[in-house]
Amino acid sequence: MFPFQIEKIYLDVQAEKDWVTETVLKALPEVPVYRTEDKGSLIKQSLSKLDPIGTGKKNLLITRFYGRRLKPCPGTSRHICCG
């Protein structure tokens, strides 16, 4: 069904109660979940792998997003943009 298989889910403890987290975990009950409080070191560790892109396609990091979900388009007069 998917072109890749998720092997591990890393869950930022800050996102444990989010509805998106609950939805993902219900959809992937067979995938092991590893809780983390330090996503920065987890990301650094992943980037140091021999094949970080290939490894990243097999791992899912669920974390909180503190920014705005929708933002004004950053395009300028010399760029093709969504507007």
What pLDDT, in 10s, does the model give residues 18-59? 999 999 999 999 999 999 999 889 889 888 888 888 888 899
Domain annotation covers residue 52: yes
Domain annotation covers residue 15: yes
Q: What is the pTM of this model?
A: 0.73
pLDDT at position 68: 65
Task: Print burial letters for 40-61: b (CB count within 10 Å at least 16), e (below 16).
Answer: eebeeeeeeeeeeeebeeebbb
Total tally of structural domains belonging to the chain: 1
81/67: higher pLDDT: 67
**What is the average pLDDT across 69-81?**
62
Collect all residues with Cβ–Cβ distance below 8 Å to 64 and sequence separation of at least 6: 12, 14, 15, 18
Residue 56 is part of which domain span?
A: 8-62
Residue 67 and residue 5: Cα distance in Å, rounded?
A: 29
